[in-house]
Structure 1
Amino acid sequence: MNKLETRAAFSLAGIFSLRMLGLFMIYPVFTFYAQHLTGSTPTTVGLALGAYGLTQALLQIPFGFASDRIGRKRMIAIGLVLFAIGSVVAALSNSIYGVILGRILQGAGAVGSTILALNADLTREESRTKAMATIGMTIGLAFALALVLGPVLNAWVGVPGIFWFTALLALAGIGVLYGVTPRPPATRSHRDTEAVPELFGRVLRNTELLRLDFAIFALHAILTASFIALPHMLRDVLGIHQNYQWIIYLPVLALSVGIMIPAIIVAEAKRRMKSVFVAAVAVLLATPTVLAIYRGSLAEIVIVMVLFFAAFNIMEASLPSLISKVAPADAKGTAMGVYSSSQFFGIFIGGTIGGWAYGFGGTSGVFTFCAVVAAIWLVIAATMPQPRFARTHMLHVGDIDDATAGRLAAEIEAVEGVFEAVVVPADGVAYIKFDGKVVDTERFERFASGTASASS
C-alpha cells in the first residue's frame, strides 16, 4: 500500500474498532447491572444485550446505498452521531426499556458497510485486500480488548460510565474521520465491497452462500447468548467477581489465538478448509453442552472456554474467506452485505432467546440453547461441499461494449486455473475468480486493454 492507502486503512480500522470496542465492552458485565433496572426480566435483559443487532441488520445495507448518493463521510458521521446518542440514552436510563431504546439507537448507526465502501474508494484494487485485512485484524483486537476493559471500567465507573465512554469513542471516531481519513477523489460503486440491488436474487438463491449466512448467524447467536450465562457461571460457580473476570478472559483469549493461527494455516495452506470448519463447529457444540451439564473446577472451565473461543476465532477468521471463495465473481460485495446482516440478526436472536432461556433454565438453559443452535449448524456444515480455493482479481479493461465484454470474459475463462470471469462494461472492470496455485495475476494483464488476445 502507498502512504495514502496506509493512512486510509489504519484510520478506517480505527473508526471501526472504536465503535466495536464500545459495543462489546458491556458484554462481560451487562447482565449483572441490568437485573437491577426497573422492568428487568431475563428476557428483557437479553433483548437489551442483543437489540442493537436488529437495527444493524436492517439498516447497514440502506446506509451503504445512501452513501452512494450523499457521500461516505457524511453517512459515517451520521451513523456515529446516532451511535453516540444511543449510548447517552442507555447511560441515562433507569429502566431496562430505556436501555433497549439506547441499544436500538446504537445499532441504527449502521456504518460498517459504508466504512468498507469508503475504504474501496481510497484504495487501488491490488491494495484493497491488505487494507481489508488491516480492518479485520483491528476488529478482532477490539473484541479481545473489550472483554478485558469491560470489567476493569465497570469497577471504576460502572455500566453507565461504560456507555458514556462509548459515546466519547464515537465522537473520537468522527474526529478521526475528518481529521485523519483522506477525502476520496470520487465516490464509485464497487461490486467487491458493496451490495448491488440487482444481484440480491442471485445471491439469495445460492445454497452455499446461504450455508455461510446461517453459519455467521449461528456463531454470533451462540456468542451473544453465552455472555448472558458465562459471567454468572464465573461468579456463582467459581466465585470470581464480575470486576475481576478479565483475569480469566485475558489468558483464555491469548491461548485461543494460539490455537486459531495453526488451524487457519492448515485450512488455507493445506487446503483442509472443510475439515477444520466442521471440527470447529463440533467444538462449538461440545463446549456449551459440557457447560450445560457439568460444573467443574476453575482449570476445567478455563480449558472449555479456551476451546470455545478458539473455535469462535477460527470461524470468525475463515467465514469471510469462504464467502469470497464461494460468491460469484462480480457479487462479492452483495454476498458480504447479506452475510453481515445475518451476523447482526444472529446477535439479536442470541440475546433475546438467550435471555428467555436464562429465565427458563438458568445458565444450563442458555448453554442448552447454544448447543441446539450448534447441533443444527453441524448438520448443515457436515453436508457442505469442499470449497474451491479461489481468489478474486479485478482488472480494468476500459470502455468496451457488451459484445466485446462477452468475448473478453470467454477468453479469460479459457485460461487454465480460471473458474469464472465476469466483465461489466458499465464499470470497465473484469472480475476474475481463479486458483492462485495454478495461475498468477500477471497472466491477466494482457487483457487489460479490453480486447481479447485472439484479436490483438
Structure 2
Amino acid sequence: MHDTERMNSGEIRAGIGLALVFAFRMLGMFMVLPVLATYGMDLADATPALIGLAIGAYGLTQAVLQIPFGMLSDRIGRRPVIYAGLLVFAAGSALAAGADSIWGVIAGRVLQGAGAISAAVMALLSDLTREQHRTKAMAMIGMSIGLSFAVAMVVGPLLTRAFGLSGLFWVTAGMALLGIVLVVALVPKGTGALQHRESVVAGQAIRSTLRNGDLLRLDFGILALHAILMASFVALPLALVERGGLPREEHWWVYLTALLVGFFGMVPFIIYAEKKRRMKRVLGAAVAVLLFCELFFWQFGNSLTMLVIGAVIFFTAFNLLEASLPSLVSKVAPAGGKGTAMGVYATTQFLGAALGGILGGWLYQQGGLGGVFVGCALLCALWLVIAVTMREPPYVTSLRLPLSPTALRDAGLIQRLLAAPGVADAMVVAEEAALYIKVDTQKLDRTSLERLIESAPAMC
C-alpha cells in the first residue's frame, strides 16, 4: 500500500461518522461553559463555588473512567462501550435538564462525564482505517473537537436565550442519542478489534509513560490549560455582565469574535513552530501570553472593549496551545507508546477541567473576579517554569508498519533501523506482526524505510 492511495468509502464513512459523534458529545460538554456562571445563579442553592463545581464536575468521572473504558472496549468490543457511554451521557443531560437546584445540575454533569467513550471511539476508528490513512482519519476527529468548541461558545448562549438552561441540556441529550444513530447507520461494521499501540492504551506501557519527564511536563501543561479555561469561564461571563455591562443574552458575539480572530491568529505560529522546528519556543511564548492575558483581565478588564481584547488574546494563546500539546506528546512518546501517552494525557486534561471549575468557583467566592484571574495567572507562571525546562522535542513522525514473517525473524532489524539516518526509535511487537517506528521524514522517506525493512536477510 502506498500513501498516494485514497481513503475508501468505508474509511470516509468511519471518519465522518465518528468525528460527528465526538463533535456532538463535545458540544454537549462545552455549550454550558459560557452560560452556567450567569444562568446557573437562578437555580436553587446556587453559589459561585457550586457553579464552578458544576462547570468542572464532568471532568472527574471522565478522568477516572477514560482509560478503563478504553481497555473494556478491547475485551467486549468498541460498539457496546460507545452505545452505553452515549446512553449514560444522555441520561446525565436529562438529569441536569430536569433539575431545579444546582445539586441536580452537578449530578447531571457527573453522570455526563461517566459516558467516557473517547478512547473507545479512537480505537474503533483505528480498527476501521488502514495504516496509511489513519492519521487523516484522526485529523478529522481533531478538527471536529476544535470546531465543536467554537460552535459551542456561540450556540450555547443562543440556545439558552431561546430555551433556558433546561432546554440546553435537553438539546444535549438529543445530540447524544443522535450519536448512537450515527454509529449504527453510518459507521461500517468492523471485522474485530485491532491491537494497535498508537491508538489504544497498553497496560504494560503505563508505568514507563508516567516516568517520562517530558511527557509529564506536557501532561501538566494540558492539566493547567484546561484548569485555566474552566476557571476563566467562571469569571469571564460574570465580568462581561458586571464590568462590561453586556446582558448575558448577548455574550455569543464576544466568543464568536474571540474564537475567529484567535483561530486565524494562531495559524502562523503553528506553521512557524513546525517548519522552523521551534515548538518549545512557541509553547513557552504562548504560556507567557496566557499569563499576560490573565493579568490583563485582572488589571485592565474594567470595560467591554478591554474584556473583548483580552478574550481575543486569551483564545489565540489557548487555541495555539490546544493544537500544539497533542502534537508534542506524539513526538515525545516512545515508539509504540503513543496510544498510552495520549490516554494519560487525556486523563490529566479532564482532571484539569475538574480542578479548574472547582478552583475557579472557590476563588470567585473568596476573592471575586480578581481572585480568579490572579489564581489563573499563578497557575500560568508555574506552568511557564515547568515548560522552559522541557527539552526541544524530536521532529519525528510515528509510523506502524506490518512486518512479513521474514522481517519478524530478522534479529538485526532494530539495530539496522536505528543506524539509519532519521530513525529516532523503533520497536517490534511480534504479536501484532508490526513495527512501530519514529522517523524524521526530512531525512528518511517512507519508501526508503520500507526498502530498508525489506532488505532483511533470508532466514533458514
TM-score, normalization: structure 2?
0.96
On the 8 A contact 1:397/1:447 being kept in 2, the answer is no
Match of 1:6 in 2: 12
On the 8 A contact 1:399/1:425 being kept in 2, the answer is no
Deviation at 1:436, TM superposition (A): 1.2
Deviation at 1:293, TM superposition (A): 2.3
Equivalent-residue separation in structure 2 for 1:102 and 1:383 (angstroms): 40
Deviation at 1:407, TM superposition (A): 2.0
Deviations 1:179-230 (CA, angstroms, capped at 9, x unpaired):
1011111212210011000001110000000000000000000000000000
Match of 1:395 in 2: 401
Deviation at 1:378, TM superposition (A): 0.3
Match of 1:151 in 2: 157
Deviation at 1:264, TM superposition (A): 0.2
The number of equivalent residue pairs is 454
The answer for unaligned runs of 5 or more in structure 1 is none
Equivalent-residue separation in structure 2 for 1:201 and 1:454 (angstroms): 37
| 2:419 equivalent to 1:414 | yes
Match of 1:432 in 2: 437
Equivalent-residue separation in structure 1 for 2:406 and 2:165 (angstroms): 58
- 1:5-404 map, 5 Å: 5-399=11-405, 404=409
Equivalent-residue separation in structure 2 for 1:73 and 1:226 (angstroms): 36
On the 8 A contact 2:301/2:310 being kept in 1, the answer is no
3-state DSSP class of the match of 1:38? coil
Moved more, 140-149 or 286-295: 286-295
Equivalent-residue separation in structure 2 for 1:405 and 1:392 (angstroms): 21
- Aligned in 2, Cα 1:84/1:326: closer, same or farther, shift over 3 Å? same
The answer for unaligned runs of 5 or more in structure 2 is 1-6
3-state DSSP class of the match of 2:34? coil
On the 8 A contact 2:48/2:361 being kept in 1, the answer is yes
Equivalent-residue separation in structure 1 for 2:308 and 2:36 (angstroms): 21
Deviation at 1:400, TM superposition (A): 6.6
Match of 1:452 in 2: 456
Deviation at 1:453, TM superposition (A): 4.8
On the 8 A contact 1:410/1:421 being kept in 2, the answer is no
On the 8 A contact 2:223/2:350 being kept in 1, the answer is yes
Deviation at 1:447, TM superposition (A): 5.1
Give the partner amino acid of 1:32.
T
3-state DSSP class of the match of 1:19? helix
Equivalent-residue separation in structure 1 for 2:385 and 2:136 (angstroms): 34
Deviations 1:226-259 (CA, angstroms, capped at 9, x unpaired):
0000001111111111111111111111111111
Deviation at 1:165, TM superposition (A): 0.3
On the 8 A contact 1:60/1:113 being kept in 2, the answer is yes
Equivalent-residue separation in structure 1 for 2:279 and 2:209 (angstroms): 22
Equivalent-residue separation in structure 2 for 1:94 and 1:424 (angstroms): 54
Equivalent-residue separation in structure 2 for 1:31 and 1:405 (angstroms): 61
Equivalent-residue separation in structure 1 for 2:238 and 2:48 (angstroms): 13
3-state DSSP class of the match of 1:29? helix
Equivalent-residue separation in structure 2 for 1:241 and 1:54 (angstroms): 31
Deviations 1:278-320 (CA, angstroms, capped at 9, x unpaired):
0000011110111122234433322221111011001111111
Deviations 1:7-48 (CA, angstroms, capped at 9, x unpaired):
111110000000001111111111122223222222111111
- Aligned in 2, Cα 1:212/1:446: closer, same or farther, shift over 3 Å? same
On the 8 A contact 1:209/1:323 being kept in 2, the answer is yes
RMSD (CA atoms)? 1.5
On the 8 A contact 2:44/2:102 being kept in 1, the answer is yes
On the 8 A contact 2:64/2:347 being kept in 1, the answer is yes
Equivalent-residue separation in structure 1 for 2:84 and 2:301 (angstroms): 46
Give the partner amino acid of 1:114.
A
Moved more, 182-191 or 72-81: 182-191
Deviation at 1:454, TM superposition (A): 8.3
On the 8 A contact 1:406/1:423 being kept in 2, the answer is no
3-state DSSP class of the match of 2:432? coil
3-state DSSP class of the match of 1:235? helix
Equivalent-residue separation in structure 2 for 1:2 and 1:356 (angstroms): 51
Equivalent-residue separation in structure 2 for 1:241 and 1:41 (angstroms): 20
On the 8 A contact 1:28/1:242 being kept in 2, the answer is no
Give the partner amino acid of 1:20.
M
- Aligned in 2, Cα 1:142/1:374: closer, same or farther, shift over 3 Å? same
Equivalent-residue separation in structure 1 for 2:72 and 2:92 (angstroms): 21
Equivalent-residue separation in structure 1 for 2:267 and 2:339 (angstroms): 26
Deviations 1:356-396 (CA, angstroms, capped at 9, x unpaired):
00101111111111111101000011111111111111110
Give the partner amino acid of 1:283.
V
- Aligned in 2, Cα 1:454/1:275: closer, same or farther, shift over 3 Å? farther
3-state DSSP class of the match of 2:33? coil
Equivalent-residue separation in structure 2 for 1:434 and 1:231 (angstroms): 45
On the 8 A contact 1:51/1:104 being kept in 2, the answer is yes
Deviation at 1:401, TM superposition (A): 9.3
Equivalent-residue separation in structure 2 for 1:427 and 1:386 (angstroms): 32
Give the partner amino acid of 1:408.
L
Deviations 1:44-74 (CA, angstroms, capped at 9, x unpaired):
1111110000100010111111111111111
Moved more, 34-43 or 215-224: 34-43
- Aligned in 2, Cα 1:440/1:173: closer, same or farther, shift over 3 Å? same
3-state DSSP class of the match of 1:432? strand
TM-score, normalization: structure 1?
0.97
